Amino acid sequence: MTFESTDIDSKVRRAVQHFWFTRASQARRQGSSTGIRDSGARGAVTGGAQMDGFVDVITEALLDAGVRDTHVFRSTKLVLPGWYRAEKKWDLLVVAGDNLVAGIELKSQVGSFGNNFNNRSEEAIGSATDLWAAYREGAFAPSPRPWLGYLMLLEETPKSLSAVKVRQPHFKVFPEFNGASYAKRYELLLTKLVRDRLYDSACLLLASQSSGESGEYREPSNELSFYRLLRSLVFHSGAFLAR
């Protein structure tokens, strides 16, 4: 795959469209057979598969780079052992024989920013920490250090872009959090996770429901672009499997 000649942007746009279309379809279908709908937005997330468009783009890039389709796991056999817990299911894995090559988490958040931001943060930190502890203890031996990635698609709304008040009853928060919106908090989180080597690459995409249905999206940080994440994964996987 030649990244210079491939229109990554158009592929991401289709993935964003797929996300909103699938989410809306699931919300409409949920409860149609029982007449009972989940409260709030839960009906839009109980069916899964909203992020499959991104899985398709990543899988295609890996295959174009020469990774065998038998090495890419995207729907089954996605569970890896942990150290602090028995197991964890990832969203896409690259496994070649007895070598764990790569793993990636694909997450989204639409609404409920105050309730869900901390949960998503704790999941991202905990999943990586658990995997690296398991790697340290030989869970994936004889694998060399695998590649780990994280993608977040966040709904862009006035609520996700507005400053969030911080609570400081005993000690001061770090200054970068003062006046930061939830979108900015995600940018800070993912940047720090990559720079601390908990993840090898991460991506943050912002898309509103109205414009996202036509595929529009925004990347608030070049360091957290989809192109950068995809290139990092493909180059790592290709280099490993070429050994």
Cα(180)–Cα(106) distance, rounded to whole angstroms?
23
Reported as a single tens digit per residue, the pLDDT across 178-187 is: 999 999 999 9
Spans in the chain with pLDDT lower than 70:
1-6, 30-48, 242-243
**CA 71/CA 95 separation, integer angstroms:** 5
Percent of the chain, pLDDT > 70?
89
Long-range contact pairs involving 76-84 (C-beta distance under 8 Å, separation at least 24) = 80/131, 80/134, 80/139, 80/140, 81/134, 81/139, 82/130, 82/131, 82/133, 82/134, 82/139, 83/130, 83/133, 83/134, 83/136, 83/137, 83/139, 84/126, 84/129, 84/130, 84/133
pLDDT of residue 41: 44
Q: What is the pLDDT of residue 40?
A: 42
How does strand 201-207 pair with strand 87-89? Answer: unpaired
The arrangement of strands across the sheet holding 99-109 comes to 72-73, 92-96, 99-109, 147-155, 201-207
206: CB partners within 8 A, 6+ apart: 154, 155, 156, 160, 183, 217, 218, 219, 220
pLDDT at 110: 93
